[in-house]
Amino acid sequence: MSDLLCAEHGLFVIENPKPSKGRNYGEWLGDKKPQSWSDRLKEKIDEILPSCATFESFLAAMRAAGCTVRDNRKYVSIMLPGGGRPIRLNTLGGDYTEAAIRERLLGQRAVKINSEGGATRVNLLIDIQAKIREGKGSGYENWAKVFNLKQSAKTLIFLQENGIDSYEDLKKKASSASGGFALLNQKIRDTETRMNEVTELQKYIGQYGKTRAVYEAYKRSGWSQNYYDEHTADIILHRAAKSYFDKLGLKKLPSINQLKQEWGTLAVEKRALYAGYRDAKENAKALAVALGNANHILGIAPDTKTTHNRGASHETPRRKEQEI
């Protein structure tokens, strides 16, 4: 998807990107970053929540840990032991609002706790085996299985509707669609660039023609300073037009009519190219998503060059299911 977006906007596509080894600003600050009461409350929630089964038991556990819990009809606020102020859960945002905490307790929201206590949301395409080993519980396991089954079903339907019955065929079509869209996008850009060039050339030709008589008179005056002072604007415009023609290497100027006809032809070509633009874009995206899902379902690394026949495509998922 990143490659498609880069192609769409004419940006360079990195063929073999390397993972970043840098750190974000929060990681770079480390212990130097002062910890707010909100951050402390988030850490306490992450510490207490895994041992709770319901939202009520969570509130009880927070009270048992020395926190002051205010639970009324509108909102829940918690004050940590040792000071600070009552903080509404809904002001914490992200994975720490009341609704988010309830989802986490039900296994409907996956949150991974890092080594420094912060929580980061896991990727949507779940590696079920790894998450089960982390002990997320039956609720999480069931949610992940259902999610992956839905993705698998969508991919299967897409492949059936498009007559794709082999992994290699999917790879080829995804690559062809991506390349075709990039080529179409480049043709549109080239056409628009030429249309802009024609418009610019028309402007300078008109400017050149309107100021030519003044400039010729300036030459006949022997480059008179008085004449220049009286006609400075026209002389500057004339010289700018001449400089533009020299930059293009034009020895003979095309007529305005010729340029108008060329611009009209380019406009027709542009409309024709745009007619298939949206379909090409959506097709390329759909195939890219299908390929990504297929790689995930079959356990294939994106850069794997191994070909898979139709029989192998059925065998691999069965092995993964047995491992799960």
Higher pLDDT, 131 or 9: 9
Q: Which residues contact 246 (CB under 8 A, 6 or more apart)?
A: none
Q: Which residues pair with 71 in a beta bridge?
A: 76
**Residues 223, 173: Cα–Cα separation, whole Å:** 67
> What is d(CA 99, CA 84) in angstroms, rounded to the nearest whole number?
24
The pLDDT value recorded for residue 38 is 85
Q: What is the pLDDT of residue 101?
A: 87
The answer to whether 284 touches 4, Cβ cutoff 8 Å, is yes
Give the best-scoring range by mean pLDDT among 127-136, 155-164, 165-174: 165-174
pLDDT over threshold 70, residue 144: no
pLDDT of residue 121: 37
Across the range 104-118, mean pLDDT stands at 64
| Top-confidence range, 46-50, 111-115, 238-242, 282-286 | 238-242
What value does the mean pLDDT take over residues 65-79? 83
**pLDDT value at residue 223:** 94
136 CA to centre of own chain: 30
Q: Which of 100-109, 193-202, 287-296 has the highest mean pLDDT?
A: 193-202
Alpha-carbon gap, residue 203 to 228, rounded angstroms: 23
Q: Which of 22-36, 88-102, 201-215 is predicted most confidently? A: 201-215
What is the structure's pLDDT at 195?
A: 94
Q: Which two tokens stand for residue 151?
A: 């993705």
Tell me the average pLDDT across 96-112: 80
Residue, of 114 and 297, whose pLDDT is higher:
297
Chain position carrying tokens 């075709």: 180
pLDDT at 324: 27
pLDDT of the residue at 296: 75
Contact 227, 305 (CB under 8 A): no
- The span from the CA of 108 to the CA of 272, in Å, is 47
Residue with tokens 């542009």, as numbered in its chain: 270
Q: Is the pLDDT of residue 53 over 60?
A: yes
Average pLDDT, the chain: 76
